[in-house]
Chains A and B, each alone.
Chain A
Amino acid sequence: MNLTQIAGIIRYEIVMAVRRRTPIILLLLMMVGLIAFSLIARDSTERSGIFAEGMPVQINGLDVRVYAPTSSLFTALVATVVIGVIGVVFFTNEVIPLDRQYRMTEVLAATPMSRATYLAGKLAGVWVTLLAIAGLVGGIGLIAAAILLPGYDVRLFLAVWIVFGVPMLLMASALAVLLTSWAGSRRAAILLALLVMPIAVILLSIGLLSLGAVVVFVEPAYGFFLLPPPGADIVALTRERIAGGLPVVIGVPALAWLLAWGWARLREAR
């Protein structure tokens, strides 16, 4: 692979993404989602009567004033990642099909660039853009959550966002870019993206129960969503979950790469 060529494609992809307004739309989508779901989760927590007079001040060994906003934040973060993944699938699927629609692939075929370099450049371009968006959402989200859910555990936010949220967004974009790379037009890419979306959502649920379980390492009490059997060692259970889910979350995008690259090699004999 030629790194200079990859760097050129990355730069071009970032510029094109900005011109298509993709970063700002995804940023707004996820920020609105995070704020809206934080408000809904906060409302649900307050209605549950958890702060009422006579209720225990500790839940699973944690102060209720920390546990309640943190569990609300966890729900809001997961919902934001779901919305983000759906948005990413629909806004990154056109990256390669647009080149085909505008006949750029014919120009590229005349250049000494391998399919692997082309695919890697396109994917890296999308990932760099997404990492910037994820960084912004994370940064602004930390402040927004401090206002909406005062007292939340910052460590949980960082753990969920870095270990679960960002990898899920990258995984979804990889699936969208690679599995729609056969499409000859933007419209065909969207139709293929409709097939990619359920795969991404199922992988997201697998990721939640494996990568999302990282919250147990922050505080075992935050692993409430894992529904551990009574008396089980939740830390050991989490390790098992991560070890079981990680190969699937990494393996499926890797398989998508092989399919996209193999198809391109077969079709264009390069």
Chain B
Amino acid sequence: MGGAIMTGEHMDAARPIDLTDSPRGARRGYTFAWRMSFRAVLLLMGAAGGALLFAIIAFDLSDMAITDGALNAAEVVIPLIAGMCAALLFAPDDEPILELILTSPRPVAWIVAERLIVLTGLIAVIGIAASAVVTAQPDGGTFGAHLLRWVPPTIALIGGGMAASLYGRRSSYGVLLAIVVSVGMAIAADVLRVRFPDLWPISLYAQPRDLTAEQYAVNRALLTAIGVGLIALTCIRTRDSEALLGGKDTR
């Protein structure tokens, strides 16, 4: 198996890549498929956003209040859309040609990473624009404070959605987790605060007025850490081809 592989990109340069001798060297030949990722993620975001809009209109028409009025739209909607889209980014059973993808020298983690980067970029643009609009209002608060309200929950739900879809093998796990955790915590924010005050470190929608400055900082840092940790765990998991195909964990 000491043969060399010529990828399409390297054929012109006539530079063979030996995968067995130099895996690092082989990686140098990979490129990101940004256009494809943009198309996939935009479609997801459009569908998820459209569904959410439909839900809001439907609930509004039927006089069913969804969330506490104290929570602003950006704080609930952005993490929810991000979580749902992240859950749909990659699930082993939902990738129709997973075996083929795994035979490619380009690591699966790259696919996950490029889709995640596109999703994060789009969410960041929407979120920053929303924060700018909110903070321009008379009682909008500072821009940094508003960012703190939605960025950590968004990272946590992105991590949760991705991990649930990957470990559960189906996107439905991640989407369900994102919806139940996000909507559940938004609806029951006050009940949770009063009945389970010890849950403040992991409360997605903790408000600065309900916690001390130190507690609020810990809450935001912990949510971010949970999200980043789960994203890292997901990327590491994608390196195990055997596990991705449904076999035993080989790492």
Q: Which residues of A contact B (CB under 8 A)?
A: 20, 40, 43-44, 83, 86-87, 90-91, 93-94, 101, 185-187, 190-191, 193-195, 197-199, 201-202, 205
- Option from B88, B180, B195 in Cβ contact (under 8 Å) with A190: B88
Count of chain B residues with a beta carbon within 8 Å of a chain A beta carbon: 27
Q: Is the CB of B58 within 8 A of A186?
A: no
Report Cα–Cα, A186/B195, bound state, in Å: 39
Q: Is the CB of A87 within 8 A of B94?
A: no
Q: Is the CB of B175 within 8 A of A43?
A: no
Interface segment among B16-24, B48-56, B152-160, B236-244: the answer is B48-56
Majority secondary structure of chain B interface residues (helix, strand, loop or mixed): helix
Apart from A91-B176, A197-B51: 10 A-B pairs, beta carbons within 8 A: A20-B170, A43-B195, A90-B172, A185-B94, A191-B48, A193-B175, A194-B47, A195-B50, A197-B179, A199-B58
Q: Is the CB of B94 within 8 A of A195?
A: no
Closest chain A residue, CB of each to CB of B96: A101
Among A94, A101, A198: residue with most chain B CB under 10 A = A198
Q: Is the CB of A194 within 8 A of B180?
A: no
- Option from B54, B59, B88, B191 in Cβ contact (under 8 Å) with A187: B88
Q: Could you mark each residue 205-242 of chain B with 1 if its beta carbon is under 8 Å from any beta carbon of chain A, else 0?
A: 00000000000000000000000000000000000000
Q: Is the CB of A202 within 8 A of B88?
A: no
Q: Could you mark each residue 53-75 of chain B with 1 if its beta carbon is under 8 Å from any beta carbon of chain A, else 0?
A: 01100110010100000000000
Q: Is the CB of B172 within 8 A of A91?
A: yes
3 smallest CB-CB distances across A and B, nearest first, come from A194-B51, A198-B55, A191-B47
Q: Is the CB of B64 within 8 A of A205?
A: yes
**Is B41 part of the binding interface, using a Cβ–Cβ cutoff of 8 Å?**
no
Report Cα–Cα, A266/B131, bound state, in Å: 47
- Option from A90, A91, A190, A198 in Cβ contact (under 8 Å) with B54: A198
Residues of A within 8 A of B62 (CB): 202, 205
Q: Is the CB of A187 within 8 A of B180?
A: no
**B180 CB, nearest partner CB in chain A, Å:** 7
- Option from B50, B58, B171 in Cβ contact (under 8 Å) with A202: B58
Among A90, A93, A197: residue with most chain B CB under 10 A = A90
**Is B93 part of the binding interface, using a Cβ–Cβ cutoff of 8 Å?**
yes
**Is B108 part of the binding interface, using a Cβ–Cβ cutoff of 8 Å?**
no
Q: Is the CB of A187 within 8 A of B195?
A: no
Residues of A within 8 A of B76 (CB): none
Report Cα–Cα, A191/B52, bound state, in Å: 11
